Copies of this chain bind each other. A is one copy, B any other.
């Protein structure tokens, strides 16, 4: 497979597209980013790397972190997680409280905000130094010791994240947050503030294309856990646009409002894209388009 040629073709095509969507403004600190940054990084199962544009520039991974906290929680609690979170697509916006009320405080899946808050609560319970331990986990996955939080972003989210505070208190009212609400929110705002480049994200997610092992061979998840994590990304990775992404791209993946997307094809490749312009559903328009072109041009998808 001539990946670099495919990537170059993608670059040519998406460069000609009109610029639509805009940078996330819900978190003031995120609104400062240059809207026209574009990066893409693809690592094959065999370890070959291909790249485009600003693939080395760090950005706020935001909700992409939810896959990493879920992974970490799986290593501690495995199937016990599902006593407090479901595995169904939500059919609602990522920050909707409606479904949570109808379903009595059990979030639909770990990738909507409510579900990620419950996972955060689990980690706060099991980790000794939650924020540092989570950083250490990402550094271990990637082998890159400089990956870090952006404290300004974390602070900015804390000051404006009333919807997440509402959600955490709502979960607490149902007994589905065990720790102090502020502690859980603090962890959550920090996990979302982690900054990584496309290249670093591809490295971090490589284990999900490799049956649970990192590039250095370290086992993170069992094969069965990998299948399930990928399944969740497939059905729930793009909020209420998950069906659209599955339909058009046909890969498990996860987006963040920083404009990043990670997607992967088991035993074939893992790919990360970045462009800060978001569509109405909160997903990177150019990232989705690039990945649709990738699976169309390579005729590679899970289907």
Contact = CB atoms under 8 A, between A and B. Distances in A.
Interface of A: 86-92, 96-99, 101-102, 108-109, 162-163, 165-170, 172-173, 181, 223-224, 226-228, 230-232, 234-236, 240-244, 246-248, 250, 252, 266, 295-296, 299, 301-303
Given A87-B244, A234-B235, A235-B243, 16 more contacts: A86-B243, A87-B243, A88-B243, A89-B235, A91-B108, A97-B166, A98-B101, A109-B243, A165-B172, A166-B172, A227-B301, A228-B303, A232-B243, A234-B234, A235-B235, A266-B303
A165 B97 CA distance: 14
A242 B231 CA distance: 10
Contacts of A181: 162, 165
A246 B109 CA distance: 13
Q: Which 9 A-B pairs have the closest CB atoms?
A: A91-B91, A88-B243, A230-B303, A166-B169, A166-B170, A89-B89, A162-B173, A302-B302, A165-B169
Describe A's contact surface by its main secondary structure. Answer: helix
Nearest to A238: B88
Contacts of A231: 243, 246-247, 250, 303
A96 B88 contact: no
Contact of A169 (B162, B224, B228): B162
20 contacts: A88-B91, A88-B242, A88-B243, A88-B244, A89-B91, A91-B91, A96-B101, A97-B97, A108-B243, A162-B172, A163-B173, A166-B167, A166-B173, A169-B169, A170-B170, A226-B303, A227-B250, A232-B243, A235-B246, A266-B302
